[in-house]
Chains A and B, each alone.
Chain A
Protein backbone atom coordinates (compact mmCIF):
# COMPACT_ATOMS: atom_id res chain seq x y z
CA UNK A 1 0.00 0.00 0.00
CA UNK A 2 2.75 2.37 1.07
CA UNK A 3 4.59 1.73 -2.13
CA UNK A 4 1.50 2.52 -4.19
CA UNK A 5 0.98 5.77 -2.35
CA UNK A 6 4.56 6.82 -2.86
CA UNK A 7 4.26 6.07 -6.57
CA UNK A 8 1.21 8.30 -6.71
CA UNK A 9 3.05 11.05 -4.88
CA UNK A 10 6.00 10.76 -7.20
CA UNK A 11 3.73 10.92 -10.23
CA UNK A 12 1.99 13.93 -8.75
CA UNK A 13 5.30 15.74 -8.20
CA UNK A 14 6.40 14.99 -11.74
CA UNK A 15 3.22 16.36 -13.32
CA UNK A 16 3.34 19.49 -11.20
CA UNK A 17 6.94 19.99 -12.17
CA UNK A 18 6.08 19.47 -15.81
CA UNK A 19 3.26 22.00 -15.68
CA UNK A 20 5.35 24.67 -14.08
CA UNK A 21 8.44 24.13 -16.15
CA UNK A 22 6.67 25.15 -19.40
CA UNK A 23 8.18 28.53 -20.22
CA UNK A 24 5.64 31.30 -20.20
CA UNK A 25 6.27 32.37 -23.78
CA UNK A 26 5.39 35.98 -24.42
CA UNK A 27 4.39 35.05 -27.97
CA UNK A 28 2.22 37.17 -30.18
CA UNK A 29 -0.76 35.10 -31.27
CA UNK A 30 -2.38 35.23 -34.69
CA UNK A 31 -5.80 33.63 -34.88
CA UNK A 32 -6.56 32.17 -38.30
CA UNK A 33 -9.84 30.56 -39.28
CA UNK A 34 -11.99 29.86 -42.33
CA UNK A 35 -11.98 27.68 -45.41
CA UNK A 36 -11.11 24.04 -45.00
CA UNK A 37 -9.75 24.15 -48.55
CA UNK A 38 -7.05 26.61 -47.53
CA UNK A 39 -6.53 24.94 -44.15
CA UNK A 40 -3.95 22.32 -45.23
CA UNK A 41 -1.75 25.00 -46.85
CA UNK A 42 -1.96 27.14 -43.73
CA UNK A 43 -1.17 24.22 -41.46
CA UNK A 44 1.81 23.15 -43.51
CA UNK A 45 3.21 26.66 -43.97
CA UNK A 46 2.23 27.60 -40.42
CA UNK A 47 4.43 24.96 -38.81
CA UNK A 48 7.49 26.15 -40.70
CA UNK A 49 6.53 29.78 -40.06
CA UNK A 50 6.34 29.26 -36.31
CA UNK A 51 9.68 27.45 -36.34
CA UNK A 52 11.22 30.41 -38.17
CA UNK A 53 9.48 33.03 -35.98
CA UNK A 54 9.52 31.79 -32.38
CA UNK A 55 7.94 35.04 -31.19
CA UNK A 56 4.72 34.45 -33.11
CA UNK A 57 2.28 31.63 -32.47
CA UNK A 58 -0.49 30.72 -34.85
CA UNK A 59 -3.87 29.34 -33.87
CA UNK A 60 -5.35 27.76 -37.00
CA UNK A 61 -8.83 26.28 -37.35
CA UNK A 62 -11.31 25.46 -40.12
CA UNK A 63 -15.02 26.08 -40.28
CA UNK A 64 -15.69 27.26 -43.81
CA UNK A 65 -15.05 30.42 -45.81
CA UNK A 66 -18.26 32.10 -44.65
CA UNK A 67 -17.50 31.48 -41.00
CA UNK A 68 -13.96 32.77 -41.45
CA UNK A 69 -15.08 36.07 -42.95
CA UNK A 70 -17.76 36.40 -40.29
CA UNK A 71 -15.12 35.90 -37.60
CA UNK A 72 -12.92 38.56 -39.23
CA UNK A 73 -15.82 41.01 -39.28
CA UNK A 74 -16.51 40.36 -35.61
CA UNK A 75 -12.86 40.76 -34.65
CA UNK A 76 -12.57 37.12 -33.57
CA UNK A 77 -9.61 36.41 -35.85
CA UNK A 78 -6.84 38.39 -37.54
CA UNK A 79 -6.69 36.29 -40.70
CA UNK A 80 -9.65 34.71 -42.50
CA UNK A 81 -9.00 31.96 -45.04
CA UNK A 82 -11.42 31.82 -47.93
CA UNK A 83 -11.86 29.77 -51.09
CA UNK A 84 -14.08 32.47 -52.64
CA UNK A 85 -14.10 36.24 -52.94
CA UNK A 86 -15.82 38.31 -50.25
CA UNK A 87 -19.48 39.13 -50.89
CA UNK A 88 -20.82 42.69 -51.09
CA UNK A 89 -23.04 42.01 -48.06
CA UNK A 90 -20.07 40.81 -46.03
CA UNK A 91 -18.01 43.87 -46.95
CA UNK A 92 -20.87 46.10 -45.84
CA UNK A 93 -21.35 44.19 -42.61
CA UNK A 94 -17.62 44.57 -41.86
CA UNK A 95 -17.67 48.27 -42.67
CA UNK A 96 -20.46 48.73 -40.09
CA UNK A 97 -18.12 47.32 -37.46
CA UNK A 98 -15.05 49.25 -38.60
CA UNK A 99 -13.48 46.26 -40.35
CA UNK A 100 -12.03 46.73 -43.81
CA UNK A 101 -11.38 43.27 -45.28
CA UNK A 102 -8.38 43.24 -47.63
CA UNK A 103 -7.86 40.34 -49.99
CA UNK A 104 -4.55 38.55 -50.62
CA UNK A 105 -4.46 35.67 -53.12
CA UNK A 106 -2.12 32.91 -51.96
CA UNK A 107 -2.71 29.98 -54.34
CA UNK A 108 -4.80 28.60 -57.18
CA UNK A 109 -6.96 25.55 -56.58
CA UNK A 110 -7.53 23.68 -59.81
CA UNK A 111 -9.25 20.34 -60.26
CA UNK A 112 -8.73 17.99 -63.14
CA UNK A 113 -11.05 15.21 -64.29
CA UNK A 114 -9.15 11.93 -64.57
CA UNK A 115 -9.91 8.62 -66.24
CA UNK A 116 -8.20 5.27 -66.66
CA UNK A 117 -5.27 5.38 -69.13
CA UNK A 118 -7.00 2.79 -71.36
CA UNK A 119 -10.04 5.02 -71.83
CA UNK A 120 -9.89 6.65 -75.31
CA UNK A 121 -11.85 9.79 -74.30
CA UNK A 122 -9.69 12.94 -74.61
CA UNK A 123 -11.93 15.91 -74.10
CA UNK A 124 -15.16 16.61 -72.23
CA UNK A 125 -17.17 19.80 -72.01
CA UNK A 126 -18.34 21.25 -68.71
CA UNK A 127 -21.90 20.34 -69.70
CA UNK A 128 -20.88 16.74 -70.38
CA UNK A 129 -19.11 16.55 -67.01
CA UNK A 130 -22.23 17.89 -65.33
CA UNK A 131 -24.33 15.31 -67.19
CA UNK A 132 -22.03 12.48 -66.16
CA UNK A 133 -21.92 13.47 -62.51
CA UNK A 134 -25.63 14.20 -62.19
CA UNK A 135 -26.41 10.77 -63.63
CA UNK A 136 -27.91 11.90 -66.96
CA UNK A 137 -25.06 10.50 -69.05
CA UNK A 138 -24.38 6.91 -68.01
CA UNK A 139 -22.49 5.36 -70.92
CA UNK A 140 -19.04 6.29 -72.27
CA UNK A 141 -20.50 5.83 -75.78
CA UNK A 142 -22.46 9.07 -75.33
CA UNK A 143 -19.28 11.11 -74.95
CA UNK A 144 -17.17 9.36 -77.58
CA UNK A 145 -15.86 6.37 -75.67
CA UNK A 146 -16.48 2.62 -75.63
CA UNK A 147 -19.89 1.09 -74.98
CA UNK A 148 -19.42 0.77 -71.22
CA UNK A 149 -21.15 2.11 -68.13
CA UNK A 150 -19.60 5.19 -66.58
CA UNK A 151 -18.56 4.76 -62.96
CA UNK A 152 -18.37 8.19 -61.35
CA UNK A 153 -16.02 8.68 -58.43
CA UNK A 154 -16.63 11.72 -56.27
CA UNK A 155 -15.51 13.06 -52.90
CA UNK A 156 -17.46 13.01 -49.68
CA UNK A 157 -19.82 15.95 -49.73
CA UNK A 158 -18.21 17.97 -46.97
CA UNK A 159 -14.75 18.21 -48.50
CA UNK A 160 -13.50 21.44 -50.03
CA UNK A 161 -12.70 19.61 -53.26
CA UNK A 162 -16.32 18.49 -53.55
CA UNK A 163 -17.47 22.05 -52.92
CA UNK A 164 -15.23 23.37 -55.70
CA UNK A 165 -16.51 20.71 -58.10
CA UNK A 166 -20.11 21.37 -57.11
CA UNK A 167 -19.68 25.11 -57.56
CA UNK A 168 -17.68 25.22 -60.79
CA UNK A 169 -19.14 22.21 -62.63
CA UNK A 170 -22.38 20.99 -61.14
CA UNK A 171 -24.42 24.11 -60.37
CA UNK A 172 -27.44 24.08 -60.64
CA UNK A 173 -27.51 20.25 -60.52
CA UNK A 174 -26.25 17.99 -57.77
CA UNK A 175 -23.80 15.11 -57.85
CA UNK A 176 -25.88 11.94 -58.18
CA UNK A 177 -26.06 9.78 -55.06
CA UNK A 178 -24.96 6.85 -57.24
CA UNK A 179 -21.43 8.30 -57.47
CA UNK A 180 -18.86 6.42 -55.42
CA UNK A 181 -17.57 8.69 -52.72
CA UNK A 182 -13.99 8.53 -51.55
CA UNK A 183 -12.52 10.22 -48.53
CA UNK A 184 -9.37 11.75 -50.06
CA UNK A 185 -7.71 12.83 -53.31
CA UNK A 186 -5.43 9.83 -53.00
CA UNK A 187 -8.35 7.43 -52.64
CA UNK A 188 -10.01 8.89 -55.75
CA UNK A 189 -6.75 8.44 -57.70
CA UNK A 190 -6.51 4.87 -56.43
CA UNK A 191 -10.12 4.08 -57.36
CA UNK A 192 -9.83 5.55 -60.87
CA UNK A 193 -6.48 3.90 -61.59
CA UNK A 194 -8.04 0.56 -60.71
CA UNK A 195 -11.18 0.82 -62.85
CA UNK A 196 -11.33 1.13 -66.64
CA UNK A 197 -14.88 2.53 -66.62
CA UNK A 198 -14.39 5.21 -64.02
CA UNK A 199 -13.97 8.97 -63.96
CA UNK A 200 -12.88 11.02 -60.99
CA UNK A 201 -11.62 14.50 -60.14
CA UNK A 202 -8.54 15.43 -58.14
CA UNK A 203 -6.33 18.41 -57.37
CA UNK A 204 -3.48 19.06 -59.85
CA UNK A 205 -0.91 17.93 -57.32
CA UNK A 206 -2.27 14.38 -57.24
CA UNK A 207 -1.84 13.58 -60.96
CA UNK A 208 0.34 10.56 -61.63
CA UNK A 209 1.24 8.23 -64.48
CA UNK A 210 -1.49 5.70 -63.64
CA UNK A 211 -4.15 8.31 -64.45
CA UNK A 212 -5.12 10.07 -67.67
CA UNK A 213 -6.15 13.70 -67.40
CA UNK A 214 -9.03 14.91 -69.54
CA UNK A 215 -9.12 18.22 -71.43
CA UNK A 216 -12.13 20.36 -70.56
CA UNK A 217 -13.74 22.57 -73.22
CA UNK A 218 -10.62 21.91 -75.33
CA UNK A 219 -8.23 23.34 -72.73
CA UNK A 220 -5.41 21.17 -71.47
CA UNK A 221 -4.95 20.92 -67.72
CA UNK A 222 -1.59 22.55 -67.01
CA UNK A 223 -0.52 24.95 -64.26
CA UNK A 224 -0.05 27.66 -66.93
CA UNK A 225 -3.61 27.38 -68.25
CA UNK A 226 -4.94 27.46 -64.69
CA UNK A 227 -2.90 30.56 -63.82
CA UNK A 228 -3.99 32.24 -67.06
CA UNK A 229 -7.61 31.59 -65.99
CA UNK A 230 -8.29 29.54 -69.13
CA UNK A 231 -8.83 26.30 -67.23
CA UNK A 232 -12.53 26.17 -66.30
CA UNK A 233 -12.21 24.28 -63.00
CA UNK A 234 -9.94 26.64 -61.09
CA UNK A 235 -10.36 29.27 -58.42
CA UNK A 236 -8.06 31.43 -56.37
CA UNK A 237 -7.61 30.87 -52.67
CA UNK A 238 -7.38 33.93 -50.44
CA UNK A 239 -6.59 35.18 -47.01
CA UNK A 240 -8.47 38.25 -45.78
CA UNK A 241 -7.09 40.65 -43.21
CA UNK A 242 -8.48 43.75 -41.53
CA UNK A 243 -6.73 46.48 -43.52
CA UNK A 244 -3.51 45.78 -45.42
CA UNK A 245 -1.40 43.18 -43.57
CA UNK A 246 0.87 44.77 -40.96
CA UNK A 247 3.21 43.64 -38.20
CA UNK A 248 3.14 39.93 -37.43
CA UNK A 249 0.33 39.37 -39.93
CA UNK A 250 2.44 40.97 -42.66
CA UNK A 251 5.27 38.60 -41.77
CA UNK A 252 2.83 35.72 -42.24
CA UNK A 253 1.47 36.86 -45.62
CA UNK A 254 4.99 37.58 -46.86
CA UNK A 255 5.96 34.11 -45.77
CA UNK A 256 2.97 32.58 -47.58
CA UNK A 257 3.81 34.41 -50.81
CA UNK A 258 7.53 33.60 -50.69
CA UNK A 259 8.24 31.19 -53.61
CA UNK A 260 10.77 29.27 -51.54
CA UNK A 261 8.64 29.05 -48.38
CA UNK A 262 4.86 29.38 -48.34
CA UNK A 263 4.44 28.69 -52.04
CA UNK A 264 6.37 25.46 -51.60
CA UNK A 265 3.76 24.39 -49.05
CA UNK A 266 1.10 25.34 -51.61
CA UNK A 267 2.62 22.97 -54.16
CA UNK A 268 3.08 20.24 -51.56
CA UNK A 269 -0.59 20.31 -50.59
CA UNK A 270 -1.68 19.84 -54.20
CA UNK A 271 -2.51 23.40 -55.23
CA UNK A 272 -0.83 25.58 -57.84
CA UNK A 273 1.67 28.14 -56.55
CA UNK A 274 1.34 31.72 -57.74
CA UNK A 275 4.03 32.91 -60.18
CA UNK A 276 6.79 34.94 -58.53
CA UNK A 277 6.20 38.66 -58.90
Chain B
Protein backbone atom coordinates (compact mmCIF):
# COMPACT_ATOMS: atom_id res chain seq x y z
CA UNK B 1 0.00 0.00 0.00
CA UNK B 2 2.89 2.25 0.81
CA UNK B 3 4.27 2.40 -2.69
CA UNK B 4 1.10 3.85 -4.22
CA UNK B 5 2.31 7.48 -3.89
CA UNK B 6 5.68 6.44 -5.28
CA UNK B 7 4.04 4.80 -8.26
CA UNK B 8 1.96 7.88 -8.83
CA UNK B 9 5.10 9.96 -8.69
CA UNK B 10 6.76 7.78 -11.31
CA UNK B 11 3.68 8.06 -13.50
CA UNK B 12 3.58 11.85 -13.21
CA UNK B 13 7.29 12.07 -13.89
CA UNK B 14 6.86 9.98 -17.05
CA UNK B 15 3.96 12.10 -18.26
CA UNK B 16 5.98 15.27 -17.78
CA UNK B 17 8.98 13.75 -19.52
CA UNK B 18 6.68 12.75 -22.38
CA UNK B 19 5.28 16.25 -22.68
CA UNK B 20 8.76 17.77 -22.65
CA UNK B 21 9.89 15.19 -25.20
CA UNK B 22 6.96 16.07 -27.42
CA UNK B 23 7.73 19.76 -27.52
CA UNK B 24 11.36 18.96 -28.26
CA UNK B 25 10.29 16.60 -31.02
CA UNK B 26 7.98 19.20 -32.57
CA UNK B 27 10.70 21.83 -32.52
CA UNK B 28 13.12 19.44 -34.16
CA UNK B 29 10.55 18.60 -36.81
CA UNK B 30 9.91 22.30 -37.50
CA UNK B 31 13.63 22.83 -37.90
CA UNK B 32 13.92 19.83 -40.16
CA UNK B 33 11.03 21.12 -42.27
CA UNK B 34 12.61 24.57 -42.45
CA UNK B 35 15.84 23.12 -43.81
CA UNK B 36 14.08 20.71 -46.15
CA UNK B 37 12.05 23.51 -47.72
CA UNK B 38 14.88 26.03 -47.78
CA UNK B 39 17.90 24.14 -49.05
CA UNK B 40 16.54 23.28 -52.54
CA UNK B 41 16.94 26.93 -53.58
CA UNK B 42 20.68 26.40 -53.70
CA UNK B 43 20.15 24.23 -56.75
CA UNK B 44 19.09 27.42 -58.55
CA UNK B 45 21.41 29.97 -56.99
CA UNK B 46 24.87 29.43 -55.54
CA UNK B 47 25.42 30.02 -51.84
CA UNK B 48 27.78 32.94 -52.47
CA UNK B 49 25.38 34.58 -54.97
CA UNK B 50 22.59 34.12 -52.46
CA UNK B 51 24.45 35.89 -49.66
CA UNK B 52 26.31 38.51 -51.67
CA UNK B 53 23.74 39.24 -54.40
CA UNK B 54 22.49 42.83 -54.44
CA UNK B 55 19.11 42.24 -56.08
CA UNK B 56 16.02 40.46 -54.85
CA UNK B 57 13.68 39.94 -57.83
CA UNK B 58 12.07 36.61 -57.00
CA UNK B 59 9.34 36.79 -59.64
CA UNK B 60 11.30 38.30 -62.54
CA UNK B 61 12.37 36.21 -65.52
CA UNK B 62 15.03 35.03 -64.75
CA UNK B 63 14.60 35.46 -60.99
CA UNK B 64 17.34 36.96 -58.83
CA UNK B 65 17.80 35.85 -55.24
CA UNK B 66 20.38 38.14 -53.65
CA UNK B 67 19.80 38.79 -49.96
CA UNK B 68 22.75 41.01 -49.08
CA UNK B 69 20.69 44.23 -48.76
CA UNK B 70 18.06 42.36 -46.74
CA UNK B 71 20.71 40.98 -44.40
CA UNK B 72 22.28 44.40 -43.94
CA UNK B 73 18.82 45.88 -43.33
CA UNK B 74 18.05 43.34 -40.60
CA UNK B 75 21.36 43.98 -38.86
CA UNK B 76 21.03 47.76 -39.20
CA UNK B 77 17.51 47.81 -37.79
CA UNK B 78 18.54 45.60 -34.87
CA UNK B 79 21.58 47.76 -34.18
CA UNK B 80 19.53 50.95 -34.28
CA UNK B 81 16.92 49.45 -31.97
CA UNK B 82 19.49 48.09 -29.52
CA UNK B 83 21.48 51.30 -29.27
CA UNK B 84 18.26 52.95 -28.09
CA UNK B 85 16.76 50.11 -26.11
CA UNK B 86 19.79 48.71 -24.25
CA UNK B 87 20.80 51.89 -22.36
CA UNK B 88 17.18 52.82 -21.78
CA UNK B 89 16.20 49.36 -20.57
CA UNK B 90 19.18 48.94 -18.24
CA UNK B 91 18.92 52.43 -16.79
CA UNK B 92 15.22 51.94 -16.14
CA UNK B 93 15.98 48.66 -14.41
CA UNK B 94 18.66 50.30 -12.25
CA UNK B 95 16.31 53.11 -11.35
CA UNK B 96 13.58 50.65 -10.43
CA UNK B 97 15.72 48.49 -8.13
CA UNK B 98 18.15 50.98 -6.65
CA UNK B 99 16.60 54.41 -6.65
CA UNK B 100 12.83 54.35 -6.97
CA UNK B 101 10.69 54.42 -3.85
CA UNK B 102 9.14 50.96 -3.29
CA UNK B 103 5.63 52.30 -3.82
CA UNK B 104 6.60 53.91 -7.10
CA UNK B 105 8.31 50.70 -8.10
CA UNK B 106 5.19 48.66 -7.45
CA UNK B 107 3.29 50.97 -9.79
CA UNK B 108 5.94 51.28 -12.50
CA UNK B 109 7.01 47.69 -12.92
CA UNK B 110 3.60 46.32 -13.99
CA UNK B 111 3.19 49.32 -16.30
CA UNK B 112 6.45 48.50 -18.07
CA UNK B 113 5.47 44.87 -18.33
CA UNK B 114 2.15 45.96 -19.75
CA UNK B 115 4.09 47.71 -22.49
CA UNK B 116 5.61 44.32 -23.39
CA UNK B 117 2.12 42.99 -23.93
CA UNK B 118 1.31 45.56 -26.62
CA UNK B 119 0.76 43.62 -29.87
CA UNK B 120 3.47 44.37 -32.41
CA UNK B 121 0.91 45.23 -35.07
CA UNK B 122 -0.29 48.10 -32.88
CA UNK B 123 3.25 49.41 -32.50
CA UNK B 124 3.84 49.02 -36.24
CA UNK B 125 0.65 50.85 -37.09
CA UNK B 126 1.52 53.61 -34.64
CA UNK B 127 4.91 53.94 -36.32
CA UNK B 128 3.41 54.04 -39.79
CA UNK B 129 0.54 56.43 -39.12
CA UNK B 130 1.83 58.68 -36.34
CA UNK B 131 5.63 58.59 -36.05
CA UNK B 132 6.54 58.38 -39.74
CA UNK B 133 4.62 61.49 -40.93
CA UNK B 134 5.83 63.39 -37.86
CA UNK B 135 9.51 62.62 -38.51
CA UNK B 136 9.03 63.26 -42.21
CA UNK B 137 7.75 66.80 -41.62
CA UNK B 138 10.03 67.55 -38.70
CA UNK B 139 13.28 66.57 -40.42
CA UNK B 140 12.14 67.22 -44.00
CA UNK B 141 12.84 63.63 -45.06
CA UNK B 142 11.92 61.96 -48.33
CA UNK B 143 10.02 59.36 -46.40
CA UNK B 144 9.24 58.74 -42.75
CA UNK B 145 9.13 54.99 -43.34
CA UNK B 146 12.78 54.26 -42.78
CA UNK B 147 15.50 52.58 -40.78
CA UNK B 148 15.23 55.05 -37.90
CA UNK B 149 11.46 54.82 -37.51
CA UNK B 150 11.59 51.03 -37.57
CA UNK B 151 14.47 51.02 -35.06
CA UNK B 152 12.58 53.39 -32.78
CA UNK B 153 9.48 51.22 -32.86
CA UNK B 154 11.52 48.07 -32.25
CA UNK B 155 13.18 49.79 -29.30
CA UNK B 156 9.69 50.40 -27.91
CA UNK B 157 9.15 46.66 -28.07
CA UNK B 158 12.44 45.52 -26.61
CA UNK B 159 12.77 48.02 -23.75
CA UNK B 160 10.18 46.19 -21.62
CA UNK B 161 11.88 42.83 -22.26
CA UNK B 162 15.33 44.17 -21.44
CA UNK B 163 14.12 46.17 -18.46
CA UNK B 164 12.09 43.37 -16.97
CA UNK B 165 14.82 40.70 -17.25
CA UNK B 166 17.56 43.08 -16.09
CA UNK B 167 15.44 44.20 -13.18
CA UNK B 168 15.01 40.60 -12.03
CA UNK B 169 18.77 40.13 -12.23
CA UNK B 170 19.48 43.30 -10.22
CA UNK B 171 16.84 42.36 -7.71
CA UNK B 172 18.50 38.97 -7.22
CA UNK B 173 21.78 40.56 -6.14
CA UNK B 174 22.01 39.75 -2.39
CA UNK B 175 21.45 42.81 -0.24
CA UNK B 176 24.46 41.73 1.85
CA UNK B 177 26.65 42.87 -1.07
CA UNK B 178 25.05 46.32 -1.00
CA UNK B 179 25.31 46.50 2.76
CA UNK B 180 28.97 45.50 2.67
CA UNK B 181 29.78 48.09 0.04
CA UNK B 182 27.98 50.84 1.91
CA UNK B 183 29.66 49.78 5.17
CA UNK B 184 33.05 50.18 3.55
CA UNK B 185 32.17 53.80 2.88
CA UNK B 186 31.12 53.65 -0.77
CA UNK B 187 28.41 56.08 -1.81
CA UNK B 188 25.13 54.79 -3.17
CA UNK B 189 26.24 55.65 -6.70
CA UNK B 190 29.52 53.75 -6.28
CA UNK B 191 27.67 50.80 -4.81
CA UNK B 192 25.27 50.69 -7.74
CA UNK B 193 27.84 51.11 -10.49
CA UNK B 194 30.76 49.15 -9.08
CA UNK B 195 29.04 46.43 -7.05
CA UNK B 196 25.42 45.79 -7.93
CA UNK B 197 25.56 46.13 -11.71
CA UNK B 198 28.73 43.99 -12.11
CA UNK B 199 27.22 41.36 -9.83
CA UNK B 200 24.14 41.21 -12.04
CA UNK B 201 26.16 41.37 -15.25
CA UNK B 202 25.15 37.95 -16.51
CA UNK B 203 21.47 38.69 -16.12
CA UNK B 204 21.84 42.07 -17.78
CA UNK B 205 23.76 40.50 -20.68
CA UNK B 206 21.02 37.92 -21.11
CA UNK B 207 18.45 40.71 -21.05
CA UNK B 208 20.23 42.58 -23.87
CA UNK B 209 20.58 39.47 -26.00
CA UNK B 210 16.93 38.56 -25.54
CA UNK B 211 15.94 42.11 -26.44
CA UNK B 212 18.08 42.01 -29.57
CA UNK B 213 16.82 38.62 -30.67
CA UNK B 214 13.31 39.95 -30.24
CA UNK B 215 14.03 42.88 -32.54
CA UNK B 216 15.77 40.88 -35.26
CA UNK B 217 12.88 38.45 -35.54
CA UNK B 218 10.10 41.02 -35.26
CA UNK B 219 7.95 41.11 -38.37
CA UNK B 220 4.92 43.38 -38.25
CA UNK B 221 6.81 46.45 -37.12
CA UNK B 222 9.42 46.29 -39.87
CA UNK B 223 6.81 45.33 -42.46
CA UNK B 224 4.82 48.45 -41.66
CA UNK B 225 7.42 51.01 -40.67
CA UNK B 226 10.72 50.20 -42.40
CA UNK B 227 9.65 51.27 -45.90
CA UNK B 228 10.53 48.05 -47.67
CA UNK B 229 13.15 49.24 -50.17
CA UNK B 230 15.69 46.55 -50.99
CA UNK B 231 18.72 48.83 -50.97
CA UNK B 232 21.80 49.26 -48.81
CA UNK B 233 21.01 52.14 -46.43
CA UNK B 234 23.40 55.08 -46.79
CA UNK B 235 21.97 57.00 -43.87
CA UNK B 236 19.87 56.41 -40.80
CA UNK B 237 16.89 57.79 -42.68
CA UNK B 238 16.95 55.53 -45.74
CA UNK B 239 14.14 53.01 -46.20
CA UNK B 240 15.19 49.38 -45.74
CA UNK B 241 13.77 45.90 -46.15
CA UNK B 242 14.60 43.53 -43.28
CA UNK B 243 14.33 39.76 -43.71
CA UNK B 244 11.14 39.09 -41.73
CA UNK B 245 9.15 41.62 -43.74
CA UNK B 246 10.19 39.93 -46.99
CA UNK B 247 8.90 36.57 -45.78
CA UNK B 248 5.68 38.06 -44.46
CA UNK B 249 4.94 40.07 -47.60
CA UNK B 250 5.72 37.39 -50.15
CA UNK B 251 4.99 33.97 -48.68
CA UNK B 252 1.25 34.14 -49.32
CA UNK B 253 1.74 34.58 -53.05
CA UNK B 254 4.75 32.38 -53.67
CA UNK B 255 3.72 29.30 -55.60
CA UNK B 256 3.95 26.15 -53.50
CA UNK B 257 7.36 24.45 -53.73
CA UNK B 258 8.49 26.87 -56.44
CA UNK B 259 11.91 28.54 -56.49
CA UNK B 260 10.52 31.62 -54.77
CA UNK B 261 8.96 29.50 -52.03
CA UNK B 262 12.24 27.70 -51.38
CA UNK B 263 14.13 31.01 -51.41
CA UNK B 264 11.80 32.41 -48.74
CA UNK B 265 12.40 29.36 -46.58
CA UNK B 266 16.14 29.75 -47.15
CA UNK B 267 16.06 33.29 -45.78
CA UNK B 268 13.99 31.84 -42.95
CA UNK B 269 16.97 29.57 -42.21
CA UNK B 270 19.25 32.60 -42.15
CA UNK B 271 16.93 34.33 -39.71
CA UNK B 272 16.75 31.19 -37.59
CA UNK B 273 20.55 31.00 -37.41
CA UNK B 274 20.70 34.65 -36.37
CA UNK B 275 18.24 34.22 -33.51
CA UNK B 276 19.91 30.97 -32.50
CA UNK B 277 23.27 32.75 -32.31
CA UNK B 278 21.79 35.51 -30.15
CA UNK B 279 20.22 33.00 -27.78
CA UNK B 280 23.40 30.95 -27.55
CA UNK B 281 25.41 34.05 -26.70
CA UNK B 282 22.83 34.99 -24.09
CA UNK B 283 23.08 31.55 -22.56
CA UNK B 284 26.87 31.60 -22.66
CA UNK B 285 27.02 34.94 -20.86
CA UNK B 286 24.65 33.85 -18.15
CA UNK B 287 26.38 30.49 -17.62
CA UNK B 288 29.88 31.91 -17.52
CA UNK B 289 29.17 34.68 -15.07
CA UNK B 290 27.08 32.54 -12.83
CA UNK B 291 30.08 30.31 -12.28
CA UNK B 292 32.33 33.30 -11.60
CA UNK B 293 29.96 34.68 -8.98
CA UNK B 294 29.78 31.44 -7.05
Contact = CB atoms under 8 A, between A and B. Distances in A.
A191 B132 CA distance: 10
A183 B223 contact: yes
B141 to A, nearest CB: 9
B17 interface: no
B255 A177 contact: no
B56 A177 contact: yes
Contacts of A190: 128-129
A15 interface: no
B253 A180 contact: no
Given A63-B256, A163-B59, A181-B241, A195 B231 contact: no
Interface stretch (A45-53, A79-87, A151-159): A151-159
A159 B260 CA distance: 13
Interface stretch (B97-105, B142-150, B285-293): B142-150
Given A156-B228, A181-B229, A198-B143, 5 more contacts: A64-B255, A158-B250, A177-B54, A181-B230, A182-B228
A212 interface: no
Nearest to A149: B142
B112 interface: no
Contacts of B255: 63-64, 67
Interface residues of B, number: 35
B129 A151 contact: no
B58 interface: yes
A191 B128 CA distance: 8
Contact of A177 (B144, B230, B250): B230
19 contacts: A63-B255, A151-B142, A156-B250, A157-B58, A157-B59, A158-B59, A158-B253, A160-B253, A177-B55, A177-B230, A180-B143, A180-B227, A181-B229, A181-B241, A183-B223, A187-B224, A190-B129, A195-B133, A195-B143
Chain A, interface size: which category? 20 to 34
A36 B253 contact: yes
Interface in B225-254: 227-231, 239, 241, 248-250, 252-254
Interface in A38-80: 62-64, 67
A191 B249 CA distance: 16
Interface in A162-182: 162-163, 166, 174, 177-182
B254 A157 contact: no
Contact of A158 (B128, B129, B260): B260
